[in-house]
């Protein structure tokens, strides 16, 4: 009864407003409106997902498909070979060399980078003169193209005529064999990466630091905490989500590193003994080098993808645990 | 939120619009191309067509293309220049794989010609009675497939001579005149290395620049360096010929200490030109410009009309016509015209690309060329002599580049990086050979 009573005035109003045809026309409108309400948000975000499907998900799946075939750069699709490409790659000593180099360069670049970025951000967060100048200054290396960075650093890290070895020679130290020793070459490449990315991460940390409520600092100071104590007990824990973000992105970037090692010498193959060949360079060599095997290159791409996921998850959980020692408020995130 | 949605919508509509415009453009242009194609097949030379020529670095074709368009008013020629040979190679490989997008004429460098030979069905056979005997025999041989198809028309070559520092020679008490130097260097590798020992007895400067360069020159004089004539690779472990060359290069470079520990094109190599880094180097024609650039301000460079172990060639290119071309006949005609001796002489005068055509090598225009940086040496005459001295056309199959890189890396490990000895480094090359899975 109650429902019919409530609907009646509406129906009456509708029929009173015009001809029966008009009532018929009016009826679907609320339904269309509902549909509009439900559907349009998805419609509006659909361009991203359509694009993501075309340029993200599809290549990912297609790469998996290619990796299961004998597939040449020019020859195209060949026979289905199952996991043979994966076996071929995993048994090649060069794969292990590439894996070692990638992790070595990744650790040598990401760790100092994040530490330095937090330290510089902490300094920039203080009351200093010409703030904008300094903040833009740290971002400047990021603007320089990686190729240009490599060009500059090749002058610095040349084995015989380089700036660093010249300086070392002046104070009587043996020149470092930047292009011959694996570790030295990794340090040199990591330096280029750090040069480029530290400033970028600094700005991200700086933005996060400025979002920390100032009254927390005041409370800490009233409690008698010194500068160092405030930094480690307030700033760092409050930066937790940002640290996770930076570590995850630098894991992805660090494991995919290509430009800097490729441009580290004139041949771009990672050294005569592949001292500094990374996984992405190995992938490139397999696909576009003498073997011209897209099948094997795709297998490496998928192995790299899995490695990045695994390392990303490990980093994420470690960072969570470390930062969880701080304030508990963010624990749910 | 509503506002955001609307702007997103605007972005979406804008993107869609752009995509439509782009696809509209591309479809209309491909329509026009198809129309041209059919009409030129039917009506012959009456219709206007456009030919594209893809080159890299400097081929010196700008003036020639204008000339060709004046001679053939119905043909418009567009040149697409890639900055480097590698860029051109990547572009060619990608578009060859995609099956479309190549130019009507594609320039190919001799280094990556062998790997493309296995896809020779994707290129037009250019052999024709008109061009028979136009090039030096070994140049034609480079572009001829095992089954006799001519894949490309030769453009330039890189005949090698020996460049030397006469001032350093004088300081070590050796002759400086280029004819006397040629006699002293002799025409075998042994005599070249012996002269080096004599020089280094009185000088601290290394005799030559790079062990890799010497190896490349020596292996280029071996008929079947890494592969049999049918294209099957010789297992590296059984390849005594390559091992012999490898050993003698390391003997000269490391044991006798004749080489500067440099790889060519590295930062240190470039800088070594300014600090008396080495006394001689093997120089193909195009290297003269490189030396002049790197050694700016250094006086004393000269060039001797001699090359150890017979002649040598380093580099050079070809013009090919991919079967993708809509106008293969017109493209072939243009390629034949561009690589004719008269035209190549003009390109030589314009950009210094040394011609590979027999007639061009006896042209007074070429023979009269001298180079002031190299003590006014008659470089035209010397390089023409060096081109004539090349006798071996080494067989380079699809795996040449891959195997050669392995051995070159092995030499670099021993003589430049000094991280391995000759045997352990060779073993690593053998492992690499296994990985190729040939």
Return the domain boundaries, chain A.
Answer: 2-54, 84-332
> Which element (helix H / strand E) includes A242?
helix A240-255
Partners of residue A179 in chain B, C-beta under 8 Å:
266, 417
Architecture, CATH, for domain B46-157+316-361:
3-Layer(aba) Sandwich (3.40)
- Which residue of A88, A90, A160 to mutate against B (max B Cβ within 10 Å)? A160
**In chain B, where the domains are located:** 46-157+316-361, 159-313+381-436
Count other Cβ atoms within 10 Å, centred on residue B181: 22
Longest dimension (CA), chain B: 88
**CB–CB contact A93 B431 (8 Å):** yes
CB interface of B with A, residues 110-129, below 8 Å: 115, 119, 122
Q: What is the C-alpha separation between A234 and A225, in angstroms, rounded?
A: 10
User: Do B435 and A94 lie within an 8 Å CB cutoff?
Assistant: yes
CB B155 within 8 A of CB B316: yes
Domain A84-332 annotated CATH 1.10.3720.10: yes
Residue A323: the pLDDT is 61
Highest-pLDDT range among B82-86, B312-316, B424-428? B424-428
Q: Please tell me the distance in Å from B122's CA to the nearest CA on chain A.
A: 10
pLDDT given at position B146? 83
pLDDT computed for residue A127 by the predictor: 84
Task: Give ipTM to 2 decimals.
Answer: 0.77
pLDDT recorded at residue A29:
57
**Sign of the CA dihedral with A258 first, then A261, A266, and A270 last:** negative
- Per-residue pLDDT reduced to its tens digit, B343-362: 998 888 888 789 999 999 99
User: Of all residues in chain B, what percent carry a pLDDT higher than 70?
Assistant: 89
Q: Given an 8 Å threshold on Cβ–Cβ distance, is B409 in contact with A93?
A: no
* pLDDT per residue as tens digits for the range B179-236: 999 999 998 999 999 999 999 999 999 999 999 999 999 999 999 999 998 889 999 9
Mutation to test the B interface, candidates A155, A182, A290, most B Cβ within 10 Å: A290
pLDDT < 70 positions in chain A: 1-32, 322-333
Specify the pLDDT at position A68: 95
Length of chain A in terms of residues written: 333
Contact B436 A291 (CB under 8 A): yes
pLDDT score at B23:
40
User: Strand B75-82 vs strand B49-56: parallel, antiparallel, or unpaired?
Assistant: parallel
Number of alpha carbons in the 13 Å side-chain half-sphere of residue B34: 6
In this chain, the answer to whether the domains covering B46-157+316-361 and B159-313+381-436 adopt an identical fold is yes
Establish if B11 touches chain A: CB-CB under 8 angstroms.
yes
Residue B275 has pLDDT above 80, yes or no: yes
pLDDT value for B209: 95
Nearest beta carbon to residue A44 from set B8, B409, B437: B8
- Please compute, for residue A303, the number of CA atoms within 13 A of its CA located in the half-sphere on the CB side: 23
Considering only alpha carbons, which residue of chain A is nearest residue B5?
A44
Q: Which residue of A has its CA nearest to B426?
A: A273
What is the nearest CA distance from B265 to chain A, expressed in angstroms?
6
Query: Which chain B residues are Cβ-neighbours of A292 within 8 angstroms?
Result: 115
- Whole-number Å distance between alpha carbons of A273 and A296: 21
User: Nearest residue on chain A to B273, judged by CA atoms?
Assistant: A161
Burial status of residue B172 (CB atoms within 10 A of its CB: 0-12, 13-18, 19 or more): middle
Phi, psi of B311 (to 5 degrees): -75, 170
- List own/partner pairs for A148-155 with CB under 8 A and 24 or more apart: A149/A192, A149/A195, A149/A196, A149/A260, A150/A192, A150/A259, A150/A260, A150/A263, A150/A264, A151/A263, A153/A188, A153/A191, A153/A192, A153/A195, A154/A263, A154/A264, A154/A265, A154/B267, A155/B267
DSSP-assigned letters across all residues of B144-186? B-TTS-B--EEEEEEEEEEEEEHHHHHHTT---SHHHHHHHH-
Minimum distance, in Å, between the CA of residue B167 and any CA atom of chain A: 23
CA distance A241 to A116: 18
- Tokens standing for residue B188: 């075998």
* 3-class state of residue A161 by DSSP: coil
Q: Do A267 and B428 make contact, defined as CB atoms within 8 angstroms?
A: no
DSSP string, A252-318: HHHHT--HHHHTSSSS-SS-TT-TT--HHHHHHHHHHSTT-BHHHHHHHHHHHHHHHHHHHHHHHHH
Inspect the interface and report whether the beta carbons of A161 and B437 lie closer than 8 Å: no
Is residue B16 over pLDDT 80? no
Is pLDDT above 70 for B14? no
Q: Contact B435/A93, CB-based, under 8 Å?
A: yes
Distance from C-alpha of B380 to C-alpha of B120, rounded to nearest angstrom: 34
| Residue A55 DSSP label | I
Torsion of CA B169, B172, B177, B181, to 10 degrees: -80
Structure tokens at B195: 């002269």
Contact B417 A290 (CB under 8 A): no
SS3 for A58-127 is HHHHHHHHHHCEEEECCCEEEEECCCHHHHHHHHCHHHHHHHHHHHHHHHHHHHHHHHHHHHHHHHHCCC
CA neighbor of B343 nearest in space, from B359, B328, B330: B359
So what's the pLDDT on residue A11?
40
List residues in chain A touching B: CB distance below 8 A.
40-41, 44-45, 47, 73-76, 88, 92-94, 154-155, 158-162, 177, 179-181, 265-267, 269, 271-273, 288-292
Contact (CB, 8 A) for B84 and B54: no
Return the CATH fold of B159-313+381-436. D-Maltodextrin-Binding Protein; domain 2 (3.40.190)
Locus of tokens 């990466």: A193
pLDDT value at position B44?
45
pLDDT score of A14: 41
**pLDDT at residue B93 in the model:** 87
Distance from CA of A105 to the nearest CA of B (A): 20
pLDDT, position A27: 52
pLDDT digits (tens, 9 = 90+) for A84-141: 999 999 988 899 999 999 999 999 999 999 999 999 999 999 888 888 899 899 999 9
Contact A26, A14 (CB under 8 A): yes
What are the backbone dihedrals phi and psi of residue B33, each rounded to the nearest 5 degrees, phi first?
A: -60, -45
Interface contact B14, partner A, CB < 8 A: no
Write down the mean pLDDT value for chain B.
87
pLDDT of res. A290: 77
Query: What pLDDT does B349 receive?
Result: 81
CB B210 within 8 A of CB B260: yes
Q: Is B402 on the interface with A (CB under 8 A)?
A: yes
Place of tokens 């700008």: B62
pLDDT of residue A257: 92
* B364 Cβ under 8 Å from any chain A Cβ: no
DSSP string, B76-139: EEEEEEESSHHHHHHHHHHHHHHT----SEEEEEGGGHHHHHTTGGGB-----GGGTT-B-HHH
Query: Cβ–Cβ of A179/B420 closer than 8 Å?
Result: no
Per the CB < 8 A criterion, the answer to whether B49 and B75 are in contact is yes
* Tens-place pLDDT, residues B94-108: 898 888 999 999 999
- Chain A interface disruption, residue of B98, B266, B409, most A CBs within 10 A: B266
What pLDDT is stored for residue B32 in this prediction? 36
Most confident of A124-133, B79-88, B326-335: B326-335
What whole-number distance in Å separates Cα of residue A84 and Cα of residue A299? Answer: 9
Q: Does B418 touch chain A (CB under 8 A)?
A: yes
Q: Does residue B422 belong to the interface with chain A, where contact is any CB pair within 8 Å? A: no
pLDDT score for B57: 85
Q: Is the pLDDT of residue B301 over 90?
A: yes
* DSSP string of B209-238, one letter each residue: S-HHHHHHHHHTT-TTSSB-TTSPBPPGGG
pLDDT value of position B393: 81
* Residue with more model confidence, B379 or B10: B379
Query: Which two structure tokens, joined as six digits, stand for A329?
Result: 């408020």
Which residue is listed with tokens 């930047």? Answer: A178
Contact A272 B409 (CB under 8 A): yes
Degrees to nearest 5, angle at CA B325 with B321 and B326: 140
pTM: 0.80
What pLDDT is attached to residue A31? 67
């Amino acid at each position: 009864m109650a429902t019919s009573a409530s609907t009646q005035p509406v129906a009456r109003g509708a029929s009173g407003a015009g001809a029966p045809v008009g009532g018929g026309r009016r009826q679907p409108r609320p339904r269309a409106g509902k549909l509009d309400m439900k559907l349009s948000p998805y419609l509006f975000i659909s361009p991203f997902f359509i694009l993501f499907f075309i340029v993200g998900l599809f290549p990912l799946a297609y790469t998996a498909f290619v990796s299961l075939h004998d597939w040449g750069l020019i020859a195209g699709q060949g026979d289905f070979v199952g996991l043979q490409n994966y076996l071929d790659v995993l048994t090649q000593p060069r794969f292990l060399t590439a894996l070692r180099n990638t992790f070595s360069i990744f650790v040598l670049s990401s760790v100092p980078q994040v530490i330095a970025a937090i330290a510089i951000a902490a300094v920039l967060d203080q009351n200093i003169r010409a703030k904008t100048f300094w903040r833009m200054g740290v971002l400047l290396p990021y603007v320089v193209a990686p190729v240009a960075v490599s060009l500059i650093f090749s002058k610095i890290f040349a084995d015989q005529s380089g700036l660093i070895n010249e300086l070392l020679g002046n104070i009587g130290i043996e020149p470092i064999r930047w292009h011959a020793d694996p570790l030295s070459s990794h340090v040199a490449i990591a330096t280029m990466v750090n040069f480029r990315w530290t400033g970028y991460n600094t700005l991200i940390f700086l933005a996060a630091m400025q979002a920390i409520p100032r009254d927390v600092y005041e409370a800490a100071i009233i409690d008698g905490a010194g500068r160092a104590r405030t930094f480690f007990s307030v700033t760092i824990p409050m930066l937790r989500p940002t640290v996770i973000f930076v570590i995850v992105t630098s894991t992805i970037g660090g494991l995919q590193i290509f430009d800097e090692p490729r441009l580290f010498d004139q041949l771009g193959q990672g050294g005569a003994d592949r001292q500094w060949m990374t996984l992405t360079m190995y992938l490139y060599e397999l696909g576009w080098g003498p073997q011209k095997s897209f099948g094997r290159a795709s297998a490496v791409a998928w192995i790299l993808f899995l490695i990045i996921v695994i390392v990303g998850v490990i980093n994420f959980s470690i960072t969570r645990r470390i930062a969880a020692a701080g304030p508990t408020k963010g624990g749910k995130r | 939120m509503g506002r955001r949605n609307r702007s997103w919508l605007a972005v979406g509509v804008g993107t869609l619009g752009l995509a439509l415009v782009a696809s509209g453009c591309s479809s209309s242009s491909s329509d026009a191309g198809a129309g041209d194609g059919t009409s030129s097949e039917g009506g012959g030379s009456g219709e206007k067509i456009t030919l594209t020529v893809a080159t890299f670095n400097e081929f010196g074709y700008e003036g020639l293309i204008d000339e060709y368009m004046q001679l053939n008013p119905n043909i418009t020629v567009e040149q697409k220049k890639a900055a480097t040979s590698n860029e051109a190679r990547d572009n060619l490989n990608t578009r060859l794989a995609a099956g479309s997008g190549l130019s009507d004429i594609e320039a190919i460098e001799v280094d990556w010609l062998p790997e493309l030979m296995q896809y020779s069905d994707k290129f037009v056979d250019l052999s024709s009675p008109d061009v028979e005997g136009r090039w030096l025999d070994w140049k034609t041989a480079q572009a001829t497939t095992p089954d006799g198809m001519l894949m490309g028309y030769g453009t330039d070559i890189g005949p090698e001579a020996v460049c030397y520092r006469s001032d350093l020679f004088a300081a070590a008490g050796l002759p400086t005149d280029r004819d006397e130097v040629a006699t002293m260097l002799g025409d075998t590798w042994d005599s070249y290395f012996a002269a080096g020992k004599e020089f280094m007895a009185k000088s601290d400067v290394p005799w030559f620049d790079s062990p890799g360069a010497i190896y490349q020159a020596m292996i280029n004089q071996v008929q079947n360096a890494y592969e049999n004539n049918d294209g099957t690779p010789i297992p590296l472990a059984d390849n005594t010929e390559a091992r012999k060359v490898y050993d003698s290069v390391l003997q000269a470079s490391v044991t006798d200490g004749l080489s500067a520990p440099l790889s060519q094109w590295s930062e240190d190599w470039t800088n070594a030109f300014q600090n008396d880094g080495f006394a001689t180097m093997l120089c193909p024609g195009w290297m003269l410009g490189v030396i002049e650039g790197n050694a700016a301000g250094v006086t004393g460079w000269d060039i001797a009309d001699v090359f150890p172990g017979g002649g040598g060639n380093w580099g050079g290119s070809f013009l090919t016509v991919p079967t993708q071309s809509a106008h293969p006949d017109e493209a072939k005609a243009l390629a034949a015209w561009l690589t004719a001796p008269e035209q190549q002489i003009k390109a030589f005068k314009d950009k210094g690309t040394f011609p590979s055509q027999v007639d061009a090598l006896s042209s007074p225009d070429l023979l009269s060329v001298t180079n002031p940086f190299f003590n006014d040496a008659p470089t035209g005459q010397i390089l023409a002599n060096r081109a004539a001295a090349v006798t071996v056309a080494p067989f380079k199959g699809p795996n040449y580049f891959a195997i050669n890189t392995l051995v070159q890396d092995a030499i670099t490990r021993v003589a430049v990086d000094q991280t391995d000895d000759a045997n352990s480094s060779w073993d690593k090359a053998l492992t690499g050979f296994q990985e190729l899975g040939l």
